[in-house]
Amino acid sequence: MTQTPWQNLSALLANRPPLTRFAPSPTGHLHLGHIASALYVWSIAKAVQGEVLLRIEDHDRGRCHKIFEEGIFDDLYWLGFIHEDPKVRESADSSPSHPHIMRQSEREDRYREVLNDLWNRSLVYACDCSRKAIFERSDWKNSTELIYDGHCRHRQLKPEPNRGLRLKIDSKPIRFFDAKQGWQEQNPAEQCGDFLIRERNGYWTYNFAVTVDDSDQGINLIVRGEDLLHATARQLYLRELLKNPNPVVFFHHPLIKDSTGEKKLSKIDQAESLKTMRWNGKSPQTLIGEVMFLLGLNASADRPLTLDEACHNLIIPSP
């Protein structure tokens, strides 16, 4: 990270103070991959004197549970990223120094407002295609992403239950600056076609909710895993339609891998949760040391590191 042009950040952000966020989805317990992500978010914020907001991305109501949200707060507090457990904070009177935590499940009215605006501008249409139908029509069976072929663009379907809502995408390359990966160019029309903003089951999609939230909260520094790099241009496309002119800089960080070194750690693979590790007596410093080792920034997995040491190492890796 020594080569990252943080010195130019202010100009890239049009002199606005850096504001970033940590935005976990409460679909399971946190694991080491989340610690890696949180370390990047908080250490970068610290390095650029920015602020971190916490957002609970519970747009997928079928998979998100309150118990996991509470677990996230608890783990972040235990690790030292936040200095107070929001559960405690929220049960007391909210004071201005304790900004309310954004939850996507509480943003229905705002998402509807944005949808209505896009609908009235004829930028959104209803679609009744199943994934299977799109796949069968597709010429891109070997591509990593399914590309929607625009089948329903001109069918003028009504937005009824069991129909998704898609954004009309013009083919155009979108450029953005990533402080880790360098300048990037992506064309959503070629990557995925008209993408869903609301699923057929009525849930808002990740891309839609995250873009409206980032825009509304004034987030201008997005630090997240490199598995989301491919989705960035479609979020910027949407952000432009929200008429948010403020520039955003990204930092897509490397992911830590599972024990085979092949795949990223994920809840689906039953990555051991922090809860279990805590239960087994590991300290925050031990876990932070382990994560830093997996990121290649600690000489040994058994060398504990404090949060401050880890933040320092992430910004100035030891030679």
Q: Sketch the per residue contact string, 18 through 47, with ligand GLU: x for CB under 6 A, - otherwise.
A: -----xxx----------------------
Q: Does 228 bind ligand GLU (CB under 6 A)?
A: yes
- Integer angstrom CA distances of residue 24 from 67, 100, 151, 314: 13, 16, 33, 21
What minimum distance in Å lies between the beta carbon of 172 and Zn ion? 22
The one of ligand GLU, Zn ion, none whose footprint includes residue 23, by CB under 5 to 8 A per kind, is ligand GLU
- Integer angstrom CA distances of residue 293 from 79, 252, 288: 17, 19, 9
d(CA 168, CA 166): 6
The one of ligand GLU, Zn ion, none whose footprint includes residue 152, by CB under 5 to 8 A per kind, is Zn ion
Query: What is the 8-class DSSP label of residue 286?
Result: H
Question: Interacting stretch for Zn ion, rule CB under 5 A, among 15-23, 144-152, 201-209, 277-285?
Answer: 144-152
Question: Interacting stretch for Zn ion, rule CB under 5 A, among 24-32, 124-132, 209-217, 280-288?
Answer: 124-132
Q: Which is nearer to ligand GLU, 29 or 224 (CB)?
A: 224
d(CA 45, CA 259): 29
Q: Sketch the per residue contact string, 55 through 84, with ligand GLU: x for CB under 6 A, - otherwise.
A: --x---------------------------
- Which residue shows structure tokens 């007596």? 281
d(CA 31, CA 34): 6
DSSP state string for 1-39: -TTS-GGGHHHHTTTPPPEEEE----SS--BHHHHHHHH
- Which residue shows structure tokens 């295609």? 129
Q: Does 232 bind ligand GLU (CB under 6 A)?
A: no
The one of Zn ion, ligand GLU, none whose footprint includes residue 127, by CB under 5 to 8 A per kind, is Zn ion
What minimum distance in Å lies between the beta carbon of 69 and ligand GLU? 12
Site residues for Zn ion, 148-167, by CB under 5 A, read 151-152
Among 224, 234, 252, 253, binds ligand GLU (CB under 6 A): 224
Q: Which is nearer to Zn ion, 165 or 288 (CB)?
A: 165
Helix H or strand E encompassing 294: helix 284-294
What minimum distance in Å lies between the beta carbon of 37 and ligand GLU? 8
Among 13, 48, 124, 129, binds Zn ion (CB under 5 A): 129
What minimum distance in Å lies between the beta carbon of 233 and Zn ion? 22
The one of Zn ion, ligand GLU, none whose footprint includes residue 79, by CB under 5 to 8 A per kind, is none
Alpha carbons within 13 A on the beta-carbon side of 179: 27
The pair of three-digit structure tokens given for residue 47, joined into one six-digit string:
């390095």
Q: Which is nearer to Zn ion, 151 or 267 (CB)?
A: 151
Specify the 3-state DSSP secondary structure of 152: coil
Among 32, 124, 210, 238, binds ligand GLU (CB under 6 A): 210
Find the angle CA(285)-CA(286)-CA(290) to the nearest 5 degrees. 115
The one of Zn ion, ligand GLU, none whose footprint includes residue 134, by CB under 5 to 8 A per kind, is none
Q: Is 151 within 8 Å of 127 (Cβ atoms)?
A: yes
d(CA 288, CA 290): 5
Residues engaged in binding Zn ion (CB under 5 A): 127, 129, 151-152
Residues engaged in binding ligand GLU (CB under 6 A): 23-25, 57, 210, 224, 228
